[in-house]
Structure 1
Amino acid sequence: MKNYFIISDIHGQYKAFEKLLKYWNQKDSLVLLGDLIDRGPQSFEVVQKVMDLKKQYGEQVIFCKGNHEAMLLDFLENPGQKYAFYYKYGGRETMASFLKYLPAEVSELEPIEQAKVVKEEFAEELDFLNNGKLYEIAGNLLLTHAGFDSTFATVDETQDENFIWIRQHYKNENKTPYINVFGHTPLQHIHDCNDIWISKDQKYIGIDGGCYFTGQLNGIVLSEEGQIIHMYAVTSDKTEHYNN
């Protein structure tokens, strides 16, 4: 039987990600449900780490794209139009983390000019983010960043953007045969705490601990049949900073 260690919404919290990875048994598949970037201080380092793990472990590492990856890619395609929106929702920190690895003079440029340089210099990283999966079906599990259109009984009828953007899908009955594991919606909004949430019928599992706003980073190990093997939580970098 195969197990999956699932993490979501790291949001540039590299130290928390490293702490959580210590619990990963390399016999299990590692699944990252998007939003590696934005808001936190080390988005570039998180992306690099995931790419390194993918190179090392191949198909054993699964990366699904989140809405923040989509926002970065949209911004870099059309920085003039998307600049205000992207920077409002955490893009400023991501750009700063990428710019650290470029000559100092790039930091002096206007954001739109910086976007052109980042797009050119980090083509490999951006290609990796762009090629993230919209969802993964693993045994009885449907692994998504945001969720799926739960008004339908099959996953096929969900429009692509809903896999990365949908909200409150978990309020409807999950009529698919799968258990949907998702991030995107901070757990505070689902059940007023940062701990992993499991619906009464056990067909939905929410894991976004809201680490970017002084919450925690969660990890869950599930068998492909949907049995919970372990649940982990580490303090976000931000909370640790406030506590010291």
Structure 2
Amino acid sequence: MKNYFIISDIHGQYKAFEQLLSYWDEKDTLVLLGDLIDRGPRSYEVVQKVMDLKRKYGEQVVFCKGNHEAMLLDFLENPGQKHAFYYKYGGRETMASFLKYLPVEVSELDPIEQAQVVKEKFAEELDFLNNGKLYEIAGNLLLTHAGFDSSFATVDETDDENFLWIRQHYKNENKTPYINVFGHTPLQHIHDCNDVWISEDQKYIGIDGGCYFTGQLNGIVLSEDGQIVHIYAVTSDKTENYDI
């Protein structure tokens, strides 16, 4: 039976990500549920790492897009209108992370000019983020960044935006045949701690340990029929933590 190693909401915490990856059995499919970027200091390196893994392991690595990837792409398409919003929610750190790999004079440009340069110079990375999946169905698992519209019994009735942005969907009965594994909502908001949360009926599993503000990054290994094989949690180095 196939197993899935699932991680979400890395938010530029590269050291924690690397540490968690050390537990990955490469026979298992690695699934990243979005929000690779923003808030933490090393978003560019996290993106590069995921792209390298995808190149090396192909279908063994699955990347689902998160709302922060969508925010970055929206900002770069319309920096004049979007830069204040994006920078408020962690984009400043992502831009700084990308700009480190460009000539120093780019850092002296204004945010709108910088956005144009990043769009040109990092086209491959941005294309990778843009092409992330909205969700993945794997056996009995529905793998999403934020969740799905749980007022419906079928996944295909969910609007695309809800896979990236929905909140509190887990408070409704999951009428689909799948176990929904999701990130996006820090677990502190679900059950007042950072550890993986499993609903009473075991149809929802929340995994976002709030790495960018608590320093905890969770990983869960599930079989394709939804059995928990292992749960991992790592704490990022203090210098990696982002103080909101």
Normalised to the residue count of structure 2, the TM-score between the two structures is: 0.98
CA–CA separation in structure 2 for the residues paired with 1:52 and 1:9: 18
Task: Kindly state the Cα deviation for residue 131 of structure 1 after the two structures are TM-superposed.
Answer: 0.1
| Equivalence for 1:206 | 206
Rate the CA distance shift 1:7–1:151 in 2: closer, same or farther, 3 A: same
Rate the CA distance shift 1:232–1:125 in 2: closer, same or farther, 3 A: same
Pairwise CA RMSD of aligned residues? 1.1
Report the AA paired with residue 120 of structure 2: E
CA–CA separation in structure 1 for the residues paired with 2:193 and 2:241: 20
Matched, 1:99 2:127: no
Report the AA paired with residue 155 of structure 2: V
The answer to whether the 8 Å contact 1:215/1:239 transfers is: no
Task: Kindly state the Cα deviation for residue 207 of structure 1 after the two structures are TM-superposed.
Answer: 0.1
Report the AA paired with residue 6 of structure 1: I
Task: Kindly state the Cα deviation for residue 237 of structure 1 after the two structures are TM-superposed.
Answer: 3.3
| Equivalence for 1:221 | 221
| Equivalence for 1:175 | 175
SS at match of 2:18: helix
Identical amino acids, percent of aligned pairs: 90
| Equivalence for 2:123 | 123
CA–CA separation in structure 1 for the residues paired with 2:241 and 2:215: 12
| Equivalence for 1:193 | 193
CA–CA separation in structure 1 for the residues paired with 2:150 and 2:168: 9
| Equivalence for 2:83 | 83
CA–CA separation in structure 1 for the residues paired with 2:215 and 2:120: 34
Structure 1 residue runs of 4+, over 6 Å off?
A: 239-242
Report the AA paired with residue 126 of structure 1: L
Cα deviation, 1:85-131, whole Å, max 9, x if unaligned, reads 00000000000000000000000000000000000000000000000
| Equivalence for 2:109 | 109
Alignment length (residue pairs): 242
The answer to whether the 8 Å contact 2:40/2:93 transfers is: yes
| Equivalence for 2:61 | 61
The answer to whether the 8 Å contact 1:33/1:144 transfers is: yes
CA–CA separation in structure 2 for the residues paired with 1:48 and 1:237: 20
Q: Which runs of 5+ in 1 are unaligned?
A: none
Task: Kindly state the Cα deviation for residue 209 of structure 1 after the two structures are TM-superposed.
Answer: 0.1
Report the AA paired with residue 223 of structure 2: S
The answer to whether the 8 Å contact 1:214/1:238 transfers is: no
SS at match of 2:222: strand
Report the AA paired with residue 103 of structure 1: P
Task: Kindly state the Cα deviation for residue 168 of structure 1 after the two structures are TM-superposed.
Answer: 0.1
SS at match of 1:180: strand
CA–CA separation in structure 2 for the residues paired with 1:76 and 1:173: 37
Matched, 1:43 2:43: yes
Rate the CA distance shift 1:239–1:148 in 2: closer, same or farther, 3 A: farther
The answer to whether the 8 Å contact 1:146/1:167 transfers is: yes
The answer to whether the 8 Å contact 2:9/2:36 transfers is: yes
| Equivalence for 2:231 | 231
Which residues in structure 2 correspond to 1:160-171 (within 5 Å)? 160-171=160-171
Task: Kindly state the Cα deviation for residue 6 of structure 1 after the two structures are TM-superposed.
Answer: 0.1
| Equivalence for 1:136 | 136
